[in-house]
């Protein structure tokens, strides 16, 4: 069974925010909510790195574990979805999530946050696939149409990859090999960096 | 089961990691390099980057504290609370079956003494009713998902748990006011003194025929008062922190507030079982005082002899 994952190649992301825009548009996300965001570390300094982040669809999802209404469910593809009819807006999922993915439309006193909203991997919600109800509450359901999430599809540098974890890591591994270094892309030091732009792909 | 051992280990690891890298920031030339492992370790500590997103803490890529909070809440507070509640109920039931109700040892005299003014009773019952609503809704938020969802079905469950949240968030602040009023009004009755020591040494006379002396309040009642004062204020404060998230508390503040709130509330709920048992089933004649304001002289003599003397001598210092 496929296990859907995102991966953002930090060596490619140029902080164009195209994924953010694609997501907002495709899912008609409410005002004040951004399901995906691009964070730049060391902006304007040596080692500047940008990463696009949204819900990472954790295998052992912390949000799911703490939700008092038990409104989360995981699809067979490992996509973490939630049922807005059950959500009470308590905010616990946000407190538990490592990536700050759950967002709320409101922020009023007495814990009035409204229903939680987060990235659905473009897989909608519990309503019937691509029904108007599903569209209104959760946005697009591209997965039901056999398509991948819009953010990754629109990524200008193909930094953001989405899909079956095995395929995503294959693509990434291939990139790492062609960039050329000893130690896996995530633990590179300057000395190990040996990128050869003239290298041709066979 | 293995999970139970994780939090301390996790803390230790986190502490080790943190001590190693405490001084590092992603912009240190050595760390920044070309965004290698050290770099991501620093980012994992919660360093903020820049972003176009406007939400709170949007610049923070990774927040590992949430996972720690999850473990503490799910692996410690949740089971410990269930054991504490189940255990207390079982002990009270066994105690009742074996020892039974503490009866009046003389017939009622028919003479009544005023014990609680109308304002005291209004205060007590307001706080008591709010406490019960908050306890039931709070316990539903902590334990409901384990069985209530299956029992009620999704649509009832959704309405019920939403009601719990609303009741909790809107009645909570009223409970804070009621409790504060009660603390201020009753504190003078609840200062510990020598009589209480003897009372405790004799186990409060719960079992057997012993009748330790007590003034207006006995040692047990004073313990309940101070538990409500100290733990109650922690619960109130942490509750307000969570209820008014509009002031922008960050996630870590909420995690700590949530744990304090849960632990404190479970302690109070367990304590309230004892209080309710002693005040109703456990002691003949105790509930009357809080219901009508008056108690029988026989009851007063038996349970609060020093206060009874004071009333009889006409210098009742307790009632204000
Ligand atoms: S919301 Fe957060 S915790 Fe839940 S699956 Fe997504 S990334 Fe993981
Ligand atoms: S805000 Fe909604 S989804 Fe998140 S934990 Fe609370 S009830 Fe569950």
If pLDDT is split at 50, 70 and 90, which confidence band does B320 have?
very low
If pLDDT is split at 50, 70 and 90, which confidence band does B5 have?
very low
Helix/strand/coil for A8: strand
Nearest CA among A8, A107, A86 for reference residue B161? A86
Other CB atoms closer than 10 Å to residue B5's CB: what's the count? Answer: 10
Contact predicate B187/B195, CB 8 Å: no
Range of the structural domain that residue A24 is part of: 4-193
- CATH number, domain at A143? 3.30.70.20
Contact predicate B162/B221, CB 8 Å: no
Nearest CA among B251, B235, B226 for reference residue B58? B251
Q: What separation in Å is there between the alpha carbon of A170 and the centre of ligand 1? A: 23
If pLDDT is split at 50, 70 and 90, which confidence band does B203 have?
confident
Q: Do B254 and A95 touch (CB under 8 A)?
A: yes
Higher pLDDT, B290 or B54: B290
Instruction: Please report the domains of chain B, with CATH numbers, ordered by start residue.
Output: 16-62 (no CATH), 65-312 (1.20.950.20)
Does the model's pTM come out above 0.90?
Answer: no
Contact predicate B165/B173, CB 8 Å: no
Q: Is residue A177 part of a domain?
A: yes
For residue range B257-266, what is the model confidence (pLDDT) as tens digits? 999 999 999 9
Q: Whose CA is nearest to atom 6 of ligand 1?
A: A55
What would the DSSP string read from start to end of A139-170?
A: --BTGGGT---HHHHH-TTS-EEEEEHHHHHH
Alpha carbon of B184: minimum distance to chain A alpha carbons (Å): 26
Summarize the confidence of residues B86-115 as an average pLDDT. Answer: 94
Q: Is residue A166 part of a domain?
A: yes
| pLDDT of A86 over the 80 cut | yes
Summarize the confidence of residues B296-318 as an average pLDDT. Answer: 88
Helix/strand/coil for A103: strand
Higher pLDDT, B35 or B89: B89
Instruction: Give the model's pLDDT for residue B228.
Output: 97
| pLDDT of B245 over the 60 cut | yes
Q: Which residues pair with A37 in a beta bridge?
A: A53
Task: Give the CA-trace dihedral at B95, B98, B104, B107, to 10 degrees.
Answer: 160
Q: Is residue A187 part of a domain?
A: yes
**Phi, psi for B115 (deg, rounded to 5):** -115, -40
Instruction: Give the model's pLDDT for residue B318.
Output: 56
The residue to mutate among A33, A36, A56, having the most atoms of ligand 1 within 8 angstroms of its beta carbon, is A56
For residue range A149-197, what is the model confidence (pLDDT) as tens digits? 999 999 999 999 999 999 999 999 888 777 755 444 455 555 445 454 4
Q: Which of A164-173, B16-25, B79-88 has the lowest mean pLDDT?
A: B16-25
| Contact list, A45 vs chain B (CB under 8 Å) | 27, 32
- Domain count for chain A, please give it: 1
Higher pLDDT, A173 or B82: B82
Alpha carbon of B192: minimum distance to chain A alpha carbons (Å): 37
Q: Is residue A74 part of a domain?
A: yes
Query: Ligand 2: which atom is nearest the Cα of residue A96?
Result: 5
If pLDDT is split at 50, 70 and 90, which confidence band does B234 have?
very high
| pLDDT of A135 over the 60 cut | yes
| pLDDT of B19 over the 90 cut | no
Q: Is residue A136 part of a domain?
A: yes
Nearest-angstrom CA–CA distance, A129 and A139: 11
Mean residue pLDDT across chain B: 88
Instruction: Give the model's pLDDT for residue A44.
Output: 87
| pLDDT of B22 over the 90 cut | no
Q: Which residue of A47, A108, A179, A186 to mutate against B (max B Cβ within 10 Å)?
A: A47
Mean residue pLDDT across chain A: 89
Q: Is residue A198 part of a domain?
A: no
Nearest CA among B131, B218, B224, B133 for reference residue B179? B131
HSE, side-chain direction, 13 A CA sphere, residue A90: 28
Q: Do A98 and B63 touch (CB under 8 A)?
A: yes
Is residue B124 exposed (0-12), middle (13-18) or buried (19+ Cβ within 10 Å)? middle
- The ipTM estimated for the assembled molecules is 0.88
Q: Whose CA is nearest to atom 7 of ligand 2?
A: A87
Query: Ligand 2: which atom is nearest the Cα of residue A66?
Result: 5
Alpha carbon of A192: minimum distance to chain B alpha carbons (Å): 9
| Contact list, A70 vs chain B (CB under 8 Å) | 145, 149
Q: Is residue A130 part of a domain?
A: yes
Contact predicate B49/B61, CB 8 Å: yes
Distances (CA, A) of B30 to A191, A193, B33, B46: 12, 14, 6, 19
């Amino acid at each position: 069974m496929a296990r859907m994952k995102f991966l953002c190649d930090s060596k490619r992301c140029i902080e164009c925010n195209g994924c953010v825009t694609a997501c907002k548009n495709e899912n008609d996300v409410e005002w004040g909510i951004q399901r995906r965001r691009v964070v730049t570390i060391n902006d304007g300094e040596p080692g500047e790195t940008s990463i696009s982040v949204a819900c990472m669809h954790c295998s052992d999802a912390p949000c799911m574990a703490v939700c008092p209404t038990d409104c989360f469910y995981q699809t067979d593809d490992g996509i973490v979805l939630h049922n807005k009819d059950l959500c009470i807006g308590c905010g616990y999922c946000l407190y538990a999530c490592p990536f700050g993915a759950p967002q709320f439309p409101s922020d009023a006193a007495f814990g009035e946050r409204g229903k939680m909203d987060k990235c659905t991997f473009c897989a909608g919600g519990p309503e019937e696939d691509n029904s108007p109800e599903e569209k209104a509450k959760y946005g697009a359901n591209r997965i039901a149409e056999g398509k991948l999430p819009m953010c990754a599809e629109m990524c200008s540098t193909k930094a953001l990859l989405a899909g079956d974890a095995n395929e995503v890591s294959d693509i990434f591994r291939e990139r790492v090999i062609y960039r050329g270094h000893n130690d896996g892309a995530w633990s590179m030091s300057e000395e190990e960096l040996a990128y050869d732009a003239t290298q041709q792909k066979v | 089961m293995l999970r139970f051992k994780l939090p301390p280990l996790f803390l230790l690891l986190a502490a080790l990691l943190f001590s190693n890298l405490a001084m590092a920031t992603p912009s240190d030339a050595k760390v920044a390099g070309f965004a290698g492992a050290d770099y991501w370790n620093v980012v994992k500590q919660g360093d903020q980057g820049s972003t176009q997103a406007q939400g709170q803490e949007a610049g923070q890529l990774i927040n590992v504290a949430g996972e720690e909070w999850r473990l503490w809440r799910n692996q410690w507070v949740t089971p410990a609370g269930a054991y504490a509640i189940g255990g207390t109920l079982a002990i009270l039931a066994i105690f009742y079956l074996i020892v039974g109700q503490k009866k009046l040892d003389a017939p009622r005299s028919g003479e009544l003494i005023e014990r609680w003014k109308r304002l005291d009773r209004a205060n007590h019952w307001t706080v008591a009713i709010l406490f019960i609503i908050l306890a039931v809704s709070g316990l539903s938020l902590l334990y409901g998902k384990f069985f209530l969802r299956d029992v009620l079905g999704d649509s009832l469950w959704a309405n019920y748990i939403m009601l719990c949240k609303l009741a909790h968030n809107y009645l909570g602040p009223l409970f804070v006011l009621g409790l504060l009023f009660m603390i201020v009004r009753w504190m003078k009755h609840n200062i510990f003194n020598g009589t209480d020591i003897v009372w405790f040494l004799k186990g409060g006379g719960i079992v057997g025929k012993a009748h330790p002396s007590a003034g207006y309040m006995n040692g047990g009642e004073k313990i309940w008062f101070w538990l409500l004062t100290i733990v109650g204020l922690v619960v109130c404060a942490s509750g307000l922190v969570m209820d008014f998230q509009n002031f922008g508390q960050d996630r870590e503040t909420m995690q700590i507030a949530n744990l304090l709130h849960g632990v404190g509330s479970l302690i109070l709920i367990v304590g309230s079982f004892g209080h309710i048992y002693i005040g109703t089933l456990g002691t003949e004649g105790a509930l009357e005082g809080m219901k009508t304001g008056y108690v029988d002289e026989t009851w007063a003599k038996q349970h609060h002899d020093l206060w009874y003397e004071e009333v009889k001598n006409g210098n009742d210092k307790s009632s204000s």
